[in-house]
Structure 1
């Protein structure tokens, strides 16, 4: 997992061949003007979803993980916290991995919680169990899905 300011996003482009395109899009577009929905940037490899959610309590947020895609998440408005637990410590699956949706959920308790504010981003790799949407009130966020 990586948490940093968007000002420093260039430091992470070497981690994956598609990170440059994701961060360029993030830094060159006004995401606050985008309506909720999905934008395909590279078919099957790089997508952007803009969503508006209502914050949840830490207890209501479910740990999730992905095998095929890396998440780059940023907050457009509001403040969102994420629970985190390394995937090898996630033992209590609620159902088997759903390959079509590239997601598995867990009932384990996160070991750490991080807050992400506008102007910051977080990267979750397949090794990272994460519980998104923790917060109060409305949260507008963007999630890039980057093929591993």
Structure 2
């Protein structure tokens, strides 16, 4: 799945070497046995961050973006509603430069995608996203967020 706008659709090559290394790592690694933490795939250019959490109400989550990295968010187990919208026009709520995170006020309109076991979504710097949201009832999720440097 790819979420983008036609104005930036050709800006990025989602099959360039950094992305293909990430996809291969996701396919060939026994992620279910990994502990939460960071796992380098290609130096500091491609890093997998394994996470475990319980999904939360969308009211408790915030839309976010990154300046220096793409996210490949891959659900190992569980399910979540994953909010998506354009970054353009959003109001900044908080910046955490050290973590490459920008949080936003809730937009008037946004969409979401249901991510279940084996699903992934690629999020570019132009895409705001709201992860970890409950899909039906709260559940435990194991996810890998692969950070791919620009």
Q: TM-score range by the shorter chain?
A: 0.7 to 0.9
User: How many residues of Structure 1 are paired with residues of Structure 2 in the alignment?
Assistant: 137
Shift, 1:43, TM fit: 2.4
Per the alignment, residue 100 of structure 1 pairs with 98
Distance 1:133 1:111 in 2: 15
Per the alignment, residue 58 of structure 2 pairs with 58
The 3-state SS of whatever aligns with 2:59 is: coil
Per the alignment, residue 130 of structure 1 pairs with 129
Q: State the TM-score, normalized to the length of structure 1.
A: 0.86
Shift, 1:13, TM fit: 4.8
Distance 2:46 2:97 in 1: 17
Q: State the TM-score, normalized to the length of structure 2.
A: 0.84
1:1-148 counterparts in 2 under 5 A? Answer: 2=2, 13-14=14-15, 16-91=16-91, 93-95=92-94, 97-109=95-107, 111-135=110-134, 136-148=138-150
**Structure 2 segments unaligned to the other structure (5+ residues):** 4-12
Root mean square deviation, CA, Å: 1.7
Distance 1:75 1:89 in 2: 29
Distance 2:45 2:141 in 1: 26
Distance 1:74 1:2 in 2: 13
Map Cα deviations across residues 82-107 of structure 1 (whole Å, 9 max, x no partner). Answer: 1111010312x112x33321110011
Map Cα deviations across residues 45-97 of structure 1 (whole Å, 9 max, x no partner). Answer: 11001110110111111100001000001111110111111010312x112x3
Distance 2:99 2:144 in 1: 18
Q: Is the 8 A contact 2:18 2:42 kept in 1?
A: no
Distance 2:111 2:100 in 1: 23
Per the alignment, residue 10 of structure 2 pairs with none
Distance 2:17 2:117 in 1: 25
